[in-house]
Every structure is written in structure tokens, then in C-alpha cells.
């Protein structure tokens, strides 16, 4: 069964085609590598999968469906509500002073009792006699601007990174992007964010749910840190960790999301052979937990050592695919890496 | 649980603060320290509101004075008896906080996708717009006069007077203590973690499943609510909404200085920042001026010799020196040490 199906994916930036109709199926619970020379479009592919870039063309199906916000009736209702509120606000802003005068000031004498019913009826009279340019026009302008703005924001965040993340796709970055001013433990706890149910009220007032959930979360986070062998550094700020530890912490943070698919963008970059060996073992362990791993890597020793399946990109196009042996002997791949024999 | 010593350390601050009105009775000359501390408490609340936005979430806001103005004017309109509402202190304050929350959302929604400098410019404009609206909406805000007089708060039949400052002092101290507690609770929870992660790296944060728009809106709403609470208390203390010019750009900048000097993203730092910046203004400058006057070292005819007139110059100098030598602030946000020590076996909570 395929966990991720990329069909005919194209990502274009202006005139530059970074990924050109690439189709790729990722079978579940396997380790799949994407390799290729620099600038082949590997990271762009990752960014499209995780919702950072919108594909120009093509589909990315995760678990059989596209990872994007569904359009439900609540969405339509929210959009309509935003438009309505914006329109009514503009009407109110345009009319605020005369409305205040008729409803409040003229019905109130200093320190006498104030009858709300008079104010309400005065206000409704005011709106009843309102000329069209002070009611319908501002309502339409405000409503349209509000609706258009809300629609634009909804549309642009439809395929947002957090949507892909909540669907179960976790990733690490080519240039490490940890939260430097947070401890290692907090970095991992942040990865769990989508599984926590503590709301602002629970947190601000420290209701029982907060304590219960915090204890569970810290315990799980420590388990994950132990899994990547970082439990002794739990209280260190992320920026104070060594490079190799930062790489592992990034993987731990991604694992904390309990993903079904883990994207690793050059995890072995800058590692010595011994560290690379450790990393390979770690990736194997992750796969054995039932998580599909998709990785970009230049370290051929790592790629050939752990991949079940390899896809080769060059100039944004997929030029080869198959098991390590087949890819290694593929003439197109050799040409892409070493150039053509003349 | 934080270490018991840490709790003791924090409580000792509160106890010392609570004892100040008593201590000054013993000191020679009966200095009114508590009286001078009241505006500092208000500015500390404003700083805490800004700290949520700028310190935790990293959204630069140059218009917090507008939130304060909204709070002060809502409170004034709700309590002053030239308007029909005439609410009491507590219900008016609660409503004011709600108004602040709404205004924060209204500013947050259209600016949701702005970052950095662009957001700063929009909030700067928002501050100016609010000030101009208050000046020109004569029939509601009484233009440049401000709304007054406002009735003082009352507590179980006791009415606060302008002459005795001690009840005010404890009222503000209580509000400040509650705000500090709520802010710290938020900081050390999932919410605070998400805010700080957005400040550190918004893209990475969203790739971890945090919805940045939602968290930023929440920061806007809660920050604005705190600032408008500061405004409401300020208005009740002045007995007037103050004039619109009281909530100008300078106030926003002072609030920002408080957060920067104290230490971005650290609740304790904001309190220290308020004490340093406002204390410098109302205590140090005042004392120096009085001292110089008493010894006839300055004349009132020469404006250049009055230290008070050098105030903003000195602020500027202090900021430059801070940025050069201690850019992280006086009390930088020391990342909260994780409460579980990795070497100790973790014991599940007994339920």
C-alpha cells in the first residue's frame, strides 16, 4: 500500500521550473531516498509535500487524500460571518456619532434613570430613516472587503504546513531549524503540540487537565529523547547543543508529532563516518516503529546502505527509480552525477 | 513543581511590596514610596501586555498606547455619570477587558499575515488613528477635554479616595500580582511554548502542527486585553480618562523600552524594566531636580539645566548602551529549566 502518491507534480517559480511533472509512490513502512545533484529540486519536492509551497500542477495524496483544509459548511459560515461583521462595523463607524446622539444623549438627562427601551427604539428609528448611502453602501463595501480578505487568507492557507503536519507528515530541515532559545525538552514538547488538549483557560488557571497532560507529555518527551540518546541534554538550550546532537534533536522533535511519514532533508550532512553509521541505525529503528521514512541525502554510503527504494531527480525531473543496485548501475544516473563520456 | 526556594524567592517580592506602605511610616521623613510606585505598577501591566505580543510571540507592536486609550475611555464611558451606563468599578473593568480583547482581535485579523517591520508600521498607524478618533469624536469622547470626573472604585462598601493612596496601592498590586501569575502560567504551558516557537522560527513551528495565525490572534487578543486593563486602572486612578494626547506614541515607546530593557519574553524582566524606566522618571529625576533646586545649582529660567528636560535624551542613551552591552535585557528570559531532571526516575502523579 502506498502512503504517499505524488502524481504529475510541477512547481514553478516565475519562469523557473523547480520540479517538472514528477510522479512518485512511497510504499508504507519503507525507507525511500531521493537523490540527485544540487539544484535538482529535491528540497522543493519536500516543501511541496509539507505544504510550504503550493504545487503549480499535480496532486499530492497522503493516505489517499490531499492534505489540505476541507471546505465544509462551517468554513462558509465563518467566511460569511467575517463579511457580515466587517460590513456592520463599517455601517456603525460611519453612523456612530449621530446614532449615539439620538439613542443615548437625547434620552438621558444627567443622573436620571435611563430607559434602554427608549434607546433601542430611537436607534431602530434612526436605522429605519437612514438614507441609502449611509447604510447600504458602507455595508456592501465593508462586507465585500471583509469577505474577500477572509477568502484570500483561507485560500492561501488552505494547504498550509500545519495542515500537512496535523495529517501526519513530519520533517526536518536541510539547515537545522530548531527553536534555539528553547530547551531540548521544550523543542520535543512543541512537536507534541497537536496532540495536546490544554486550552488557554486550562493553562492560565492551571486546571487539573493542565497538570495531568503536562506530566504525561514530559514523560513521553523524555522517552523520545532517550530514543535518540539525548536524555542527558534535556535541559540544554537547543543552540548550545553540538551539531550532531542538534540533528538528532530535530529528528526527535519530528518523532514527537507521532507522524506516519517522516521526511529527512540531508540528515547525514556534515557527519563523520561513525556518526553516519549511528544515524543509519536510528533511521532503521524509526522504520521499525512503523514510520515511513523519505530522505534526501548526498552521502552515498548512507543512501545505498539503508534505502529500500531510490528515486533520482535531475533538473526537476525524475530520471530513474528502483532498488539501490538498479539505480547504481543506471547509465542516466551515472551521467547526471559524472557527466557524459565524450 | 518549581523548587521550593524559587517559590519562596518570588513570594518574598510580593511580601516586600505589600509591606512598603507600612515601611515608609517607620522611615525618617515618611517618604511616599508606595505613592510613587502606583504609576510604575500601571506601566508594568502595559509592559506585560506588550510582552505577550513582542516578547513571547515576536510581533513588534508600536501602538500599545492605543489599547491603553481604548481601555481608559471604555472605563470612563461606562462609569462616568454624564453617560447613562454608570456601572461600578468591577463590572466596568471586566467589560473593559472584553472591549480590549475585541479591539485586539479587530487589529489582529487584518494584519494576520504581516511580519516584522510591516506589522510595526500598521500598529504605529493604529495608535495614531485611535488618538485622532478620540480627539475628533466629540459627542462621545468629549474631544480633548477627556471624560471626568470618574467615581473611585469601592470594595465592600469602602470607597477609594484620592487622598489616601494605600487602598489604591494594594488594588494595583493585587491586579499586577494576578497578571504576573497568569502570564507565567501561560508562558510555561503549551500556549507559551507555541508563542515562543513562532518567535524563534515561524515556518518550523507551523511544520510542527502549530497554527501560527491562531496563536498570533490569541496573543493579540490577550495582550490588548491586558493593556486595556492597565488603561482602565489608570483612568480610575486619575479620576479621568485623560486627554487623547496622554496616549500618544511616546507611551508606546516607553512600554517597548520597558520590555527591551527588562528582557524580552521574561515576566520578571518586564517588572524590573518598569521599575528602572519609570523609577528613573518619577524618582531619580525628581530627586535630582529637587536636590539641585535646593542647593540653587539650577535656575528655573534656564530650561537646559533641568534634568527632567533631558529625560528622553537619557532614555535614548540608555537604550543605545543597552543594545551595545546587554542586548538581551537586564533579566533575560532564562529558559525555564525543565522541571524533570533526566537523571531522576520520573514518578507519576498520585491521583
Instruction: Centre a 10 Å sphere on the Cβ of residue B107 and count the other Cβ atoms it contains.
Output: 22
CA distance A98 to B47: 36
Between A122 and B220, where is the model more confident?
A: B220
CA distance B14 to B48: 17
Would an 8 Å CB–CB cutoff place B111 in contact with chain A?
A: no
CA distance A96 to B126: 19
Cβ contact, residue pair A179, B213, below 8 Å: no
Closest residue in A to B203 (Cα–Cα): A161
If DSSP states are collapsed to H, E and C, what string results for chain A? CEEEEEEEEEEEECCEEEEEEEEEEEECCCEEEEECCCCCCHHHHHHHHCCCCCCCEEEEEECCEECCCCCCHHHHHHHHHHHHHHHHHHHHHHHHHHHHHHHCHHHCCCCCCCCHHHHHHHHHHHHHCCCHHHHHHHHHHHHHHHHHHHHHHHHHCCCCHHHHHHHCEEECCCCCCCCCCCEHHHHHHHHCHHHCCCCHHHHHHCCHHHHHHHHHHHHHHHHHHHHCCCHHHCCCEHHHCCHHHHHHHHHHHHHCCCCCEEEEECCCCCCCHHHHHHHHHHHHHHHHCCCEEEEECCCHHHHHHHCCEEEEEECCEEEEEECHHHHHCCHHHHHHHHCCCC
- Point out the residue among A110, A204, A257 whose CB comes nearest to the CB of B208: A257
Cβ contact, residue pair B113, A153, below 8 Å: yes
- The contacts of residue A61 (CB under 8 Å, 6+ apart) are A4, A5, A6, A7
Closest CA to B207 of A169, A228, A293, A154: A169
For the ranges B245-249, B334-338, B339-343, the lowest mean pLDDT is seen at: B339-343
Q: What is the CA radius of gyration of chain B?
A: 21
Instruction: Centre a 10 Å sphere on the Cβ of residue A187 and count the other Cβ atoms it contains.
Output: 30
Cβ contact, residue pair A193, B210, below 8 Å: yes
Interface A-B: count of C-beta contacts within 8 A: 158
Instruction: Dump pLDDT digits (tens) for B13-57.
Output: 888 888 887 777 777 776 777 788 888 999 999 999 999 999 999
* Whole-number Cα distances in Å, A284 to A31, A245, B11, B270: 8, 18, 50, 47
- Point out the residue among B84, B137, B182 whose CB comes nearest to the CB of A204: B182
Contact of A157 with B206, CB cutoff 8 Å: no
Place of cell 525555564: B336
Cβ contact, residue pair B342, A111, below 8 Å: no
Chain A residue numbers with beta carbons less than 8 Å from the beta carbon of B207 are 50, 52, 161-162, 164-165, 170-171
Contact of B75 with B235, CB cutoff 8 Å: yes
- Point out the residue among B209, B335, B349 whose CB comes nearest to the CB of A257: B209
Closest CA to B14 of B167, B170, B165, B166: B170
Instruction: Count Cβ neighbours within 10 Å for each residue of A111-125 and write b for 16 or more, e otherwise.
Output: eeeeeeeebeebbee
**Best to test chain A binding among B58, B209, B349 (most A CBs inside 10 Å):** B209
What was the ipTM of the complex prediction?
0.91
Closest residue in A to B204 (Cα–Cα): A177
Restricting to B residues 127-156, those with a Cβ less than 8 Å away from any Cβ of A are 137-140
If DSSP states are collapsed to H, E and C, what string results for chain B? CCCHHHHHHHHHHHHHHHHHHHHHHHCCCCCCHHHHHHHHHHHHHHHHHHHHHHHHCCCCCCCHHHHHHHHHHHHHHHHCCCCCCCCCHHHHHHHHHHHHHHHHHHHHCCCCCCCHHHHHHHHHHHHHHHHHHHHHCHHHHCHHHCCCCCCCCEECCEECCCCCCHHHHHHHHHHHHHHHHHHHHHHCCHHHHHHHHHHHCHHHHHHCCCCHHHHHHHHHHHHHHHHHHHHHHHHHHHCCCCCHHHHCHHHHHHHHHHHHHHCCCCHHHHHHHHHHHHHHHHHHHHHHHHHHHHCCCCCCCCHHHCHHHHHHHHHHHHHHHHHHHCCCCCCCCCCCCCCCCCCCCCCCCCC
Contact of A24 with A318, CB cutoff 8 Å: yes
Q: How confident is the model at residue B334 (pLDDT cuts 50, 70, 90)?
A: low
Place of cell 507600612: B22
Chain B residue numbers with beta carbons less than 8 Å from the beta carbon of A258 are none
Would an 8 Å CB–CB cutoff place A243 in contact with chain B?
A: no
Nearest Cα of chain B lies from the Cα of A191 at a distance, in angstroms, of 5
- Point out the residue among A166, A180, A225 whose CB comes nearest to the CB of B209: A166
Would an 8 Å CB–CB cutoff place B347 in contact with chain A?
A: no
- The contacts of residue A272 (CB under 8 Å, 6+ apart) are none
Nearest Cα of chain B lies from the Cα of A193 at a distance, in angstroms, of 7
CA distance A259 to A275: 24
> How many residues appear in chain B?
351
pLDDT at residue B333 in the model = 65
- Point out the residue among B186, B222, B335 whose CB comes nearest to the CB of A237: B335
Question: pLDDT tens track of chain A, all 342 residues?
Answer: 789 999 999 999 988 999 999 999 999 999 999 998 888 899 999 999 999 998 999 999 998 888 888 888 999 999 999 999 999 999 998 888 888 888 888 888 777 787 888 888 888 888 888 888 888 899 999 999 999 999 998 888 888 899 999 999 999 999 999 999 899 999 999 999 988 888 888 888 888 888 899 999 999 999 999 999 998 999 889 999 998 899 999 999 999 999 999 999 999 888 888 888 989 999 999 999 999 999 999 888 888 889 999 999 999 899 989 988 888 888 888 888 877 766
Restricting to B residues 174-203, those with a Cβ less than 8 Å away from any Cβ of A are 182, 185-186, 189-194, 196-197, 199-201, 203
Chain B residue numbers with beta carbons less than 8 Å from the beta carbon of A211 are 349
Chain A residue numbers with beta carbons less than 8 Å from the beta carbon of B205 are 179, 190
Place of cell 480633548: B144
Cβ contact, residue pair B218, A200, below 8 Å: yes
Mean pLDDT for the stretch of residues B125-146: 90
Provide the percentage of residues in chain B whose pLDDT is more than 90.
Answer: 42
Instruction: Dump pLDDT digits (tens) for A20-37.
Output: 999 999 999 999 999 988
Would an 8 Å CB–CB cutoff place A179 in contact with chain B?
A: yes
Closest residue in B to A119 (Cα–Cα): B84
Chain A residue numbers with beta carbons less than 8 Å from the beta carbon of B333 are 181
Q: Strand pairing of A65-66 and A57-62?
A: antiparallel
Q: Cell numbers of B285, please?
A: 529625576
CA distance B88 to B75: 10
Vertex B189, ends B187 and B194: CA angle to 5°?
Answer: 80
Answer yes or no: is pLDDT of B109 > 50. Answer: yes
Cβ contact, residue pair B213, A153, below 8 Å: yes
Chain A residue numbers with beta carbons less than 8 Å from the beta carbon of B192 are 203
Instruction: Centre a 10 Å sphere on the Cβ of residue B153 and count the other Cβ atoms it contains.
Output: 20
For the ranges A43-52, B217-226, B316-325, the lowest mean pLDDT is seen at: B316-325
Q: Cell numbers of B83, please?
A: 453617560
Chain A residue numbers with beta carbons less than 8 Å from the beta carbon of B189 are 198, 202-204, 210, 214
Nearest Cα of chain A lies from the Cα of B208 at a distance, in angstroms, of 5
- Point out the residue among A97, A108, A191 whose CB comes nearest to the CB of B137: A97
pLDDT at residue A339 in the model = 77
Q: Cell numbers of A117, please?
A: 427601551
Closest CA to A162 of A259, A249, A68: A68
Q: Cell numbers of B44, please?
A: 508594568
CA distance A21 to A150: 32
Instruction: Count Cβ neighbours within 10 Å for each residue of A131-142 and write b for 16 or more, e otherwise.
Output: eeeeeeebbeeb
What is the edge-to-edge ordering of all strands in the sheet holding A317-322? A169-171, A261-265, A292-296, A31-35, A309-314, A317-322
Chain B residue numbers with beta carbons less than 8 Å from the beta carbon of A100 are 139-140
- Point out the residue among B190, B206, B335 whose CB comes nearest to the CB of A181: B335
Chain A residue numbers with beta carbons less than 8 Å from the beta carbon of B204 are 173, 177-179
Answer yes or no: is pLDDT of B344 > 50. Answer: no
Chain B residue numbers with beta carbons less than 8 Å from the beta carbon of A182 are 193, 196-197, 200, 335
Closest residue in B to A200 (Cα–Cα): B191
Between B7 and A148, where is the model more confident?
A: A148
Contact of B200 with A180, CB cutoff 8 Å: yes
Chain A residue numbers with beta carbons less than 8 Å from the beta carbon of B193 are 182, 186, 189-190, 193
Q: Cell numbers of B161, please?
A: 479616595
Amino acid at each position: 500500500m502506498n502512503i504517499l502518491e505524488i502524481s504529475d507534480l510541477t512547481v514553478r517559480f516565475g519562469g523557473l521550473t523547480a520540479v517538472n511533472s514528477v510522479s512518485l509512490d512511497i510504499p508504507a513502512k519503507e525507507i525511500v531516498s531521493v537523490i540527485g545533484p544540487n539544484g535538482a529540486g529535491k528540497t522543493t519536492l519536500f516543501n511541496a509535500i509539507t505544504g510550504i509551497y503550493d504545487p503549480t500542477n499535480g496532486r499530492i495524496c497522503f493516505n489517499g487524500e490531499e492534505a489540505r483544509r476541507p471546505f465544509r459548511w462551517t468554513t462558509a459560515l465563518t467566511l460569511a460571518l467575517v463579511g457580515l461583521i466587517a460590513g456592520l462595523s463599517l455601517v456603525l463607524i460611519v453612523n456612530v456619532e449621530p446614532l449615539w446622539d439620538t439613542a443615548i444623549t437625547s434620552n438621558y438627562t444627567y443622573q436620571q434613570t435611563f430607559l434602554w427601551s427608549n434607546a433601542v427604539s430611537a436607534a431602530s428609528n434612526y436605522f429605519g430613516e437612514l438614507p441609502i448611502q449611509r447604510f447600504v453602501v458602507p455595508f456592501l463595501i465593508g462586507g465585500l472587503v471583509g469577505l474577500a480578505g477572509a477568502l484570500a487568507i483561507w485560500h492561501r492557507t488552505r494547504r498550509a504546513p500545519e495542515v500537512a503536519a496535523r495529517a501526519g507528515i513530519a520533517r526536518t530541515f536541510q539547515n537545522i531549524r530548531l527553536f534555539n532559545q528553547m530547551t531540548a525538552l521544550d523543542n520535543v514538547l512543541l512537536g507534541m503540540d497537536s496532540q495536546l488538549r490544554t486550552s488557554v483557560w486550562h493553562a492560565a488557571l492551571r486546571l487539573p487537565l493542565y497538570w495531568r497532560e503536562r506530566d504525561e507529555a514530559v514523560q513521553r518527551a523524555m522517552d523520545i529523547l532517550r530514543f535518540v540518546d539525548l536524555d542527558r541534554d534535556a535541559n540544554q538550550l537547543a543552540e548550545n547543543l553540538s551539531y550532531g546532537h542538534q540533528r538528532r534533536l530535530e529528528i526527535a522533535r519530528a518523532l514527537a508529532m507521532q507522524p506516519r511519514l517522516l521526511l529527512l532533508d540531508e540528515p547525514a550532512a556534515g557527519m563523520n563516518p561513525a556518526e553516519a553509521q549511528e544515524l543509519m541505525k536510528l533511521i532503521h529503528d524509526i522504520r521499525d516503529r512503523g514510520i515511513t521514512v523519505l530522505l534526501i541525502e548526498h552521502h552515498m554510503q548512507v543512501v545505498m546502505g539503508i534505502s529500500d527504494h531510490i528515486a533520482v531527480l535531475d533538473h526537476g525531473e525524475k530520471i530513474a527509480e528502483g532498488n539501490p543496485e538498479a539505480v547504481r548501475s543506471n547509465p542516466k544516473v551515472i551521467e547526471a552525477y559524472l557527466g557524459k563520456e565524450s | 513543581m518549581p523548587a521550593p526556594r524559587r517559590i519562596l524567592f518570588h513570594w518574598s517580592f510580593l511580601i516586600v511590596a505589600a509591606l512598603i506602605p507600612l515601611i515608609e511610616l517607620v522611615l525618617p521623613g515618611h517618604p511616599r514610596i508606595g505613592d510613587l510606585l502606583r504609576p510604575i505598577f500601571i506601566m508594568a501591566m502595559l509592559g506585560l501586555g506588550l510582552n505577550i505580543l513582542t516578547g513571547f510571540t515576536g510581533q513588534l507592536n508600536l501602538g500599545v498606547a492605543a489599547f491603553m486609550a481604548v481601555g481608559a475611555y471604555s472605563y470612563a464611558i461606562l462609569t462616568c455619570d454624564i453617560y447613562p451606563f454608570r456601572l461600578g468599578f468591577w463590572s466596568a473593568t471586566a467589560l473593559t477587558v472584553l472591549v480590549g480583547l475585541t479591539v485586539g482581535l479587530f487589529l489582529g485579523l487584518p494584519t494576520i499575515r504581516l511580519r516584522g517591520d510591516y506589522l510595526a508600521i500598521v500598529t504605529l498607524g493604529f495608535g495614531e488613528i485611535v488618538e485622532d478618533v478620540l480627539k475628533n469624536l466629540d459627542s462621545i469622547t468629549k474631544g480633548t477635554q477627556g471624560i471626568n470626573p470618574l467615581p473611585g472604585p469601592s470594595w465592600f462598601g469602602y470607597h477609594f479616595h484620592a487622598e489616601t493612596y494605600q487602598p489604591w496601592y494594594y488594588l494595583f498590586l493585587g491586579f499586577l500580582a494576578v497578571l504576573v501569575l497568569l502570564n507565567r502560567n501561560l508562558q510555561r504551558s503549551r500556549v507559551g511554548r507555541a508563542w515562543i516557537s513562532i518567535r524563534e522560527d515561524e515556518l518550523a513551528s507551523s511544520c510542527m502542527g502549530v497554527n501560527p495565525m491562531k496563536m498570533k490572534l490569541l496573543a493579540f487578543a490577550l495582550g490588548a486585553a491586558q493593556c486595556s486593563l492597565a488603561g482602565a486602572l489608570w483612568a480610575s486612578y486619575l479620576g479621568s480618562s485623560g486627554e487623547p494626547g496622554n496616549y500618544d506614541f511616546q507611551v508606546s515607546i516607553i512600554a517597548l523600552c520597558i520590555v527591551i530593557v527588562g528582557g524580552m519574553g521574561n515576566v520578571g524582566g518586564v517588572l524590573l524594566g518598569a521599575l528602572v524606566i519609570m523609577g528613573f522618571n518619577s524618582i531619580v529625576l525628581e530627586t535630582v531636580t529637587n536636590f539641585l533646586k535646593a542647593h540653587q545649582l539650577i535656575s528655573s529660567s534656564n530650561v537646559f539645566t533641568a534634568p527632567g528636560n533631558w529625560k528622553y535624551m537619557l532614555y535614548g542613551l540608555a537604550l543605545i548602551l543597552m543594545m551595545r552591552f546587554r542586548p538581551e535585557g537586564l533579566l533575560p528570559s532564562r529558559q525555564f529549566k525543565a522541571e524533570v531532571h533526566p537523571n531522576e526516575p520520573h514518578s507519576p502523579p498520585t491521583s
